[in-house]
């Protein structure tokens, strides 16, 4: 009988120790280094090149699309587990895995990531 109480007491002590967290209230919070931007190069099936610079250092998140000498900035409007969509008044940029779709003025162009 004493062995059973000793076993139960030991288990309760172990369980209580497991619930205690080692907290130092005066310790500074860890700083997570995040890249402020990420540059991805894309190529369409017809050979058109486009560079997307994704900025994650402000809200809403934005992407800058660079084609030749033109640059267009879009704001994130939707995101889900495997993709994200950016938009402005005339352009939509839908990214999912290594593929992106550009919709501009009724024209759709599909791009793939390149090195």
pLDDT tens-place string over residues 36-55: 899 999 999 999 999 999 99
The single residue listed with the structure tokens 């994704």 is: 54
Question: Whole-angstrom Cα distance, residue 95 to residue 99?
Answer: 6
pTM over 0.85: no
What one-character-per-residue DSSP string does 33-65 give?
P--SEEEEEEEETTS-EEEEEEE-SSSS-EEEE
Q: Write out the two tokens for 6.
A: 């000793």
Could you report the per-residue pLDDT of 71-109, keeping only the tens digit for each?
999 999 999 988 999 999 999 999 999 999 999 999 999
CATH placement of domain 37-114: 2.40.128.200
């Amino acid at each position: 009988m004493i062995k059973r109480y000793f076993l139960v007491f030991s288990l309760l002590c172990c369980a209580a120790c497991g619930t205690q967290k080692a907290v130092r209230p005066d310790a500074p919070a860890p700083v997570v280094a995040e890249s402020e931007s990420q540059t991805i190069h894309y190529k369409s099936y017809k050979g058109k090149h486009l560079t997307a610079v994704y900025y994650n250092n402000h809200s809403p998140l934005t992407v800058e699309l660079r084609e030749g000498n033109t640059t267009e900035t879009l704001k994130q409007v939707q995101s889900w587990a495997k993709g994200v969509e950016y938009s402005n008044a005339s352009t939509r940029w839908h990214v999912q895995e290594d593929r992106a779709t550009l919709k501009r003025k009724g024209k759709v162009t599909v791009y793939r990531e390149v090195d």
